[in-house]
Amino acid sequence: MTRRSILGTAATVGAAAAPLGVATAAGAASPAAVESGIELPAATGDMAPFRLSISDSTLRDLQRRLAATRFPERETVHDGSQGVQLDRMRGLVDWWRTRYDWRRLETRLNAFGQFRTQIDGLGIHFLHVRSRHTGAIPVVLTHGWPGSVVEFLDVIRPLTDPTAFGGSAADAFHIVVPSLPGFGFSDKPTATGWNVERIARAWAQLMTRLGYRRWLAQGGDFGGSVTHELAKLGPAGLAGIHLNFFPVFQPPVSDPPTPEEQEALAKLQRFFNDGAGFVYQQSTRPQTVGYGLTDSPAGQAAWILEKFVEWSDSDGRPEQVIGTDRILDDIMLYWLSGTAASSARIYWEDARAAATGDEFAVPVGFTVFPGEIVPTPRVWAERVYQSQLVYFNKVDRGGHFAAFEQPEIFTEEVRRFARLFR
């Protein structure tokens, strides 16, 4: 049976660096260059720092495209059941044109410290922030689709410097936040094969290359699938994983299902009946997805905004929980890097990946956020991870984009899990 995540199945139940756009002296621009003219410095085996510096002409082109947006007619219903509503989309495009400031995010990303390195022939972009506290434990945080490294920006400082946020130095972490292949400022694969197992192996190599001998991993959405795969691989140095998403194709349901399982199964069925159109498209025709979204910023924004509306714990108002600017921060990483097709291909890869074993080599922690697409019953986690499940908790707020929606709760959950390993 093909191994696929719940969201990836078509079945039913440092040193100065060159700015972005300028190749380094090490070689020509990487294959991640896109039609907009943005190019990434070629990645090598070194941990090469670089600074984002998107050209004014690229930002002017975005403004031109937004101003020329051709909107469809108004929906024929009074809710979002046909997709992102016209008034909401007009409002987002107007905000994007008149109020959004890309340079704010660019400055923030550069302040954290960004790097690129070549692993398994592909340039991988990542943030790397070391803690000043002795005894900090490294953790790699992995995003999914339609997420990005910006999901984790509000948790980096509390995790690396807990004393500055009312915490204890004993809870400090060194943070690594990579962009998945084909996402953000990582290279776009030019051949097939970059499934979650291969990405997990790349992450293990990344942590080794950074010099970490003992580390943790955390993830949600496809980041959860990668992290889940890491727990199966059990690479040297990996001490444990923490998840906020259940990346199992077929949940191990009781016979008969418990009331909690019945509720979860009903939500899963609703998702596939009414919310999985993007899954079928991206797992079968990712290239077709790319044409429209790469050419239209409004199209790219609608494709992503819909998921924040439906998957966040916000009663359909993610702008109030996450913030319009922060939602646009995430959208901008897709638009500027031209990764609509390459990011969608992770679904295509996942739908075709061979099944792997069911044994887990390291301890597993799990946090259930109530607004998740399918909140995971504890019995499912216990049956999948068995004796390796060492931490399980349900929190009272937050959804699919846990770190983005509730950074304080997310931070505390990662701290609580990591205390088992200090």
* Rounded Cα distance, 281 and 286, in Å: 7
Answer yes or no: 100 catalytic: no
Torsion sign over Cα 253, 227, 152, 289: negative
Q: Could you tell me the CA-to-CA distances from 145 to 129, 183, 194, 342 in Å, in that order?
A: 23, 9, 15, 11
**Whether the Cβ atoms of residue 233 and residue 200 lie closer than 8 Å to each other:** yes
Amino acid identity at 266: A
Sheet (strand 137-142) strand order? 48-49, 114-119, 122-129, 173-178, 137-142, 215-219, 238-243, 364-368, 389-394
Question: Exactly one of 347, 350, 385, 391 is catalytic; which is it?
Answer: 347
In the structure encoding, which two tokens stand for residue 200, read together?
């997990």
Helix axes 86-98, 297-311, angle to 10 degrees: 120
Contacts of 27-32 with C-beta under 8 Å, sequence gap 24+, read: 30/123, 30/187, 31/187, 31/188, 31/190, 32/123, 32/185, 32/186, 32/187, 32/188, 32/337
Judging by beta carbons within 10 Å of its beta carbon (0-12, 13-18, 19+), is residue 180 exposed, middle or buried?
A: buried
Q: Angle CA(304)–CA(263)–CA(251) in degrees, nearest 5?
A: 75
Question: Exactly one of 221, 313, 330, 350 is catalytic; which is it?
Answer: 221
Question: Exactly one of 128, 143, 228, 400 is catalytic; which is it?
Answer: 400
Structure letter (DSSP) for residue 166: T
Q: DSSP letters along 173-224, please?
A: EEEEEEPPTTSTTSPPPSSS---HHHHHHHHHHHHHHTT-SSEEEEE-THHH
Answer yes or no: 400 catalytic: yes
* Rounded Cα distance, 142 and 224, in Å: 7
Q: Determine the straight-line distance between the first and last CA of the chain, rounded to whole angstroms.
A: 38
Answer yes or no: 347 catalytic: yes
* Rounded Cα distance, 247 and 262, in Å: 18
Q: Could you tell me the CA-to-CA distances from 295 to 13, 53, 249 in Å, in that order?
A: 34, 21, 33
In the structure encoding, which two tokens stand for residue 273, read together?
């009946």
Q: Which residues are catalytic?
A: 221, 347, 400
